[in-house]
């Protein structure tokens, strides 16, 4: 997953970010919450599809049709609709409250804690710890 933060091609970054979402689905399956895993799969499919469509729109609107994100300056001025779609999908991917990504991830993590077993508590703290470490890794890589 570390490779995702070193990529500059937008489609690679979007595809590699799916690995962290799969781990949340595996957590849900691990506590036999198959319905929550399917719910997160559907939510993930919708906001990931929106990200891919927005990225494709941006690539085709660029004069050189480059996929290098370092050359995407001023997206809001020449493609405001694509900018808005990518922003909403990215916020959902980051699990910002009020969007589907938040609710699907939160209910899985909450159900881990709600199993009232030692393994549930351990998995809960591992999930929260890995989310914290991912945040810190992104913060360090982007400096």
Going through 8-103 in order, the beta strands assigned E by DSSP cover none
Q: What is the pTM of this model?
A: 0.79
3-class SS shares of the chain: helix, strand, coil, % to 5: 80, 0, 20
pLDDT category, 63, cuts 50, 70, 90? low
Residues sharing a CB contact under 8 Å with residue 39, sequence separation 6 or more, in sequence order: 104, 107
Token reading at 46:
């919708």
Per-residue pLDDT of 78-135, as tens digits, reads: 788 988 998 999 889 888 889 999 999 999 989 988 888 888 889 889 888 888 887 7
The CA angle 39-45-50, to the nearest 5 degrees, is 135
Number of structural domains found in the chain? 1
SS3 (DSSP) at 63 = coil
CA gap 45, 51 in Å, rounded = 10
State the residue range of the domain holding 79.
2-141
The pLDDT of residue 26: 92
Per-residue pLDDT of 8-61, as tens digits, reads: 566 777 777 788 889 899 989 988 999 999 999 999 999 999 988 988 888 787
CA gap 75, 142 in Å, rounded = 20
End-to-end, the C-alpha distance of the chain in Å comes to 18
* Percentage, residues of the chain above pLDDT 70: 80
Per-residue pLDDT of 36-48, as tens digits, reads: 999 999 999 999 9
The pLDDT of residue 34: 95
The pLDDT of residue 134: 74
């Amino acid at each position: 997953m570390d490779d995702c933060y070193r990529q500059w091609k937008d489609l690679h970054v979007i595809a590699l970010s799916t690995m962290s979402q799969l781990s949340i689905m595996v957590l849900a399956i691990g506590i036999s919450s198959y319905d929550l895993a399917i719910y997160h799969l559907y939510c993930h499919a919708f906001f990931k599809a929106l990200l891919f469509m927005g990225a494709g729109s941006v690539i085709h609107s660029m004069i050189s049709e480059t996929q290098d994100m370092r050359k995407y300056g001023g997206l809001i001025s020449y493609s405001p609709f694509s900018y808005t779609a990518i922003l909403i999908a990215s916020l959902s991917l980051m699990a910002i409250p009020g969007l589907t990504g938040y609710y699907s991830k939160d209910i899985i993590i909450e159900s881990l804690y709600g199993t009232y077993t030692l393994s549930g508590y351990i998995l809960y703290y591992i999930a929260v710890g890995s989310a914290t470490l991912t945040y810190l890794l992104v913060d360090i890589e982007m400096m």
